[in-house]
Structure formats: structure tokens, C-alpha cells
Amino acid sequence: MAGRLVIVGAGQAAFSLGAKLRALKDERPITMIGSEDVLPYQRPPLSKKYLMGEMTFERLEFRPAEWFAENDVDIRLSTWVEEIERAAKTVRMQDGSKLSYEKLVLATGATPRTLPAGIGGDLDGVLTVRDKRDADRLMGEMKPGRKLLVIGGGYIGLEAAAVARKAGLDVTLIEMADRILQRVASADTAAIMRDVHRANGVSIIEKTGLTRLHGKDGHVTSAELSDGTVLDVDFVIVGIGVTPNDRLARDSGLDSGNGILVDSYTRTSDPDIHAVGDCASLPWEGGRVRLESVQNAVDQAEAAAVVLTGDEKPYAPKPWFWSDQYDVKLQIAGYNAGYDETVLRPGQREGSYSIWYFRQGKFLAVDAINDAKAYVSGKKLLDTGREPDRTVLADASADLKLLLA
């Protein structure tokens, strides 16, 4: 039997790795180390159904405590690794204890970016959305009629705004860039989602940043914007991206750069240490990318499990993402980095659209807005390496099944 595998982290990627190893009948001892005080759980419903009281936390857990005992997975909660001692093949915990490993997997995830204390980022009521603790704090704030400021017009900010509006809050969202979703989606996608939010009562202010937050008795009370506007606020949600948790890797001398650098087999620059999930920077079309998604966390972790069992199969990402906002389901297949052309295609029913991304004529990705057919068609094209017929895309009355004929 192989020696101990230590997994640093207890999120989606960490759990998927352990579960896949056991599904592959791998019997090595596994220790999983998580800093939170709860068992591994799904994160996406945290900011939606759990926050709205529509789902209990127990339903978010991947498996009950019995699963870990029955599968010989030693899970240690409320603890974390302070240092990796690569030469000795041990990790040192925050309490000074040490744990030996034969193989080590870093599934440390990412941390939301926060506002500097100098502009009020340390005031009470200035919150992020990432884990259960964040969601529990937000529950106490999400009361009808309260004034919320969302900082950041990416998917996290837009999803937070949608949940708050559904709960009856007065919501303003500011985005410093020229438009919402500027880093991740086309102007067409942004325009559609902007209209959806405004129709639902969200005030979206673009090309406007935050100058500082003001407070009283340590709690945020107002926000001064870059255009001079001052907004009264009851609380603030900061959605300005995340930073990969790669300190352990960097401190131990592993190659890093916007995440922990891994090869196509999920190995770091130390062949006995792997990295998976949001913390990992993986090869992508001659460059590198971090794929912040549930899909990548699961697929990359399962690929690492296969490699750990001795089967040298490279991980070939096939990205897909989703975002639910009000009654709008946005599904994304592919990865649109570097696109230089888009095609907007109305769907077969009102309120449905698809946006098709190309780079130098090559199909990269599709955003499907309430258009499951477009998502499925685009994903199949990407999976098979085929190019969509432009005449079909240009004809809104054409059946998308023709793309796959």
C-alpha cells in the first residue's frame, strides 16, 4: 500500500480528489486538512438558496461524517498547515505538530480580495462572499428595505445583487471599468445582463469607483464614489475578484505565479507535490490559466487522482461555467480569453440569446442566456473540435442542431 497522502484544503477539489481515489480502490491512508469547522460542502448554493433560507447547511455537505470514517479519510477540521518541509516530507501545523507524507496535494483554493483599511475596508458591515462564515454574516444583513452597495460588476457581484433584490433590498452596484463583466464576457453579454438587473430594480453605475467608505461607531454608513456621489449604505458586499492561496507553495520554493504552477499531470515543480483547483495555474494553449470553477475543481482533482494511482494521463481542461441571476440562467462553454470577434444570436424564445466567441476565426466559447440548446451545441462543438457554420449562426430561425449535422 502506498504511503500517506496529505491533502491541504477541504473544499470541492480536496473532496473530489479523496472521493475519486476511493472510487478507484486506492487504499493509501489519506489525511485532509481544513481550516473551517465544518465538513466539505458545496459553495455555489451558499450565496443563493442557503442565504435565502431555502436550503439547510446539511444539504450542502458532500457527505456526512460517517463517509469519511468508512472510507478511511482522516479529516482534520479547524486546523491548517503553516509550513511544508519538503526535504523531510512533512507538513507543520499551526499548533507545531507535524505530519509526514509520501504525496502531498495542495487544494488551498483562493481568497476574496478585500478593500484597504485606509479607505474603510475594515469597517463592520463590509463583507465578502466565499464561505459559510461569509454567508452566515450576510444572513443577518439581508433584510427588506436595507441599502446595499455591491462593489464589482463581475459574476460574484451580479449574483449578490440579484439575491439581495429578490430579498427586497435597495441595491446599488458600482463598477470601476467601462462596463460590467469587462474581464470575463463580451459587451453583448454585459448589455443583456445589465438590462436584466435594471429591470429588477438594481442601480448599476459603471466607470465609477469607490473613493472611501465612512462609518459610525465602527460600522459602515456611507460610501463616497469617485464621481463625488455619497451613498447612504447599511452594508457593503465586495466582489472584486480573488487571490490564489499559494503562500505555502511559494514559501517552500515551489514555482508560482498567479497560482501554483503545475504541469499537465497536476504536478508542481516538486514531483511529490500536486496542486488542484482555484490555487493551481495550469498549461493552456501555450500559456497558463487559473480556471476558477466547480467544474475545473472536480475534473482537475479527479485527473490528479488518476495520476496518483500510477496512470499517467494528462489533464485536458474542457471549461464550462454557469451563473443564475433572477430567472436568467447563463451557461458558458469554453474559455473566451483573447477573443477578437463575437456573434450575437437571438434564441427561439423571448429573453434567450447566445454569444459566440472567436479568435482569428477559431471558435472559443459560447455564452448561452436562457438558451440550453445553444449551450449544448456549443459544448459539443468544442468537445469535438469542430467549427460552427456561420450561416446557421447568422440565421436566428435556423435549428442549432444543424451545427452538429
- Tens digits of residue pLDDT in 267-307: 999 999 999 999 999 999 889 999 999 999 999 999 999 99
Share of the chain above pLDDT 70, in %: 100
pLDDT at 405 > cutoff 90 = no
Q: Do 230 and 129 have their domain in common? A: yes
What's the chain's Rg over C-alpha atoms?
A: 22
Q: Do 105 and 21 have their domain in common? A: yes
Contacts of 236 (CB under 8 A, 6+ apart): 125, 126, 127, 148, 149, 150, 151, 213, 220, 223
Average confidence (pLDDT) over 192-216: 98
Q: Provide the number of structural domains found in the chain.
A: 3
* Residue 51 belongs to a domain: yes
pLDDT at 52 > cutoff 80 = yes
Cα separation values, 178 from 39, 197, 343, Å: 41, 17, 21
pLDDT tens readout for residues 347-400: 988 999 999 999 999 999 999 999 999 999 999 999 999 999 999 998 988 989
Distance separating alpha carbons of residues 30 and 2, to the nearest angstrom: 10
Q: Do 106 and 152 have their domain in common? A: no
* Residue 134 belongs to a domain: yes
Q: Do 102 and 172 have their domain in common? A: no
Q: Do 120 and 166 have their domain in common? A: yes
Last residue of a domain, which of 238, 261, 293?
A: 238
pLDDT at 135 > cutoff 70 = yes
Task: Pick the closest to residue 196 from 180, 211, 185, 207 (CA basis).
Answer: 180
Distance separating alpha carbons of residues 128 and 23, to the nearest angstrom: 35
Give the residue numbers spanning the domain of 377: 327-404
Average confidence (pLDDT) over 32-43: 96
Q: Do 13 and 64 have their domain in common? A: yes
Whether pTM > 0.75 for this model: the answer is: yes
Average confidence (pLDDT) over 148-164: 96
The mean pLDDT of the chain is 96
* Residue 317 belongs to a domain: no
Q: Do 214 and 361 have their domain in common? A: no
Average confidence (pLDDT) over 184-192: 97
**CATH number for the domain harbouring residue 150:** 3.50.50.60
* Residue 95 belongs to a domain: yes
Q: Do 227 and 372 have their domain in common? A: no
**CATH number for the domain harbouring residue 363:** 3.30.390.30
* Residue 318 belongs to a domain: no
* Residue 314 belongs to a domain: no
The answer to which of 8-12, 47-51, 379-383 has the lowest mean pLDDT is 47-51
Q: Do 156 and 298 have their domain in common? A: no
